[in-house]
Structure 1
Amino acid sequence: MNMDIIYALEPRLSANEFHDVLVASTLGERRPVKDLARLERMLRDANVIITARHEGRLVGISRALSDFSFCCYLSDLAVDAAYQHRGIGKRLIAETHAQAGPETTLILVSAPAAEGYYPKIGMNQHMSCWTIARKK
């Protein structure tokens, strides 16, 4: 497989493409993929959207919220299952952090199945994370 992956900042990514990569990755199981309008809002209200494309096809995405001066919350990291284990996720994280800036701490909450991945790429675990569950 030709692995010329193109990474880009894509603030106007379509909800349909976002949907497709979520479904093609394991992240679709934990995102509202049946609600296209909600996916659209998720994209429009994020301020860092980095994509990975292979021959024009979206194969990975990082969607984050940042203040560009202290913190960056990486909310979605999804790589098409057929493209995993090729460094795409690691590069999406690096590109996201670069866009947010060197003064930011990059923060993410891991899916249970991905907990072993993040230490392998040099991320540190923080044991104190607190949440209030969404209502729907």
Structure 2
Amino acid sequence: MKVKQLSIFLENRKGRMRKALDVLEEGGVNIRALSIADTSDFGILRLIVPEPDKTKKLLEDNNFIVKIGEVIAVRMQDQPGGLGKILGILDDNDINLEYLYAFVEEKENGAIVLLHPENIDGGIKALQDGGAEVIPAKDIYGL
């Protein structure tokens, strides 16, 4: 139920993110979801891709620093309050959320939120016990 996520550390300078995206394009890597967070010195580009281990190597071979971590993918209703229900389950179970990002899932008329709680296993259990639909990695990767 855990989804592998790439975190790519980027210097905060012109063209660095584009270079990473060019490497992915040249490698035929389809990005399923992404998020970027930045500071004045560096950024972290978080990606969900179909073959995370292979993509990590591709990026490292092109001089990027990459870490593989895990997130939880949860299907939610694409309507007001949809995200609040998911976050409420975590709050009710004292699960601290470090970050999240989401995307709309057109074919299902819903949305998918990618969650990174401090405790991944505890987060999965709380979400499942709370009736949330935790999505397997293969469904997110689109394989």
TM (norm. structure 2) is 0.28
Greater fraction of residues in strand: 2
* Greater relative contact order, per chain length (Cα 8 Å cut-off, separation 6+): 2
Q: Which one has the largest radius of gyration?
A: 2
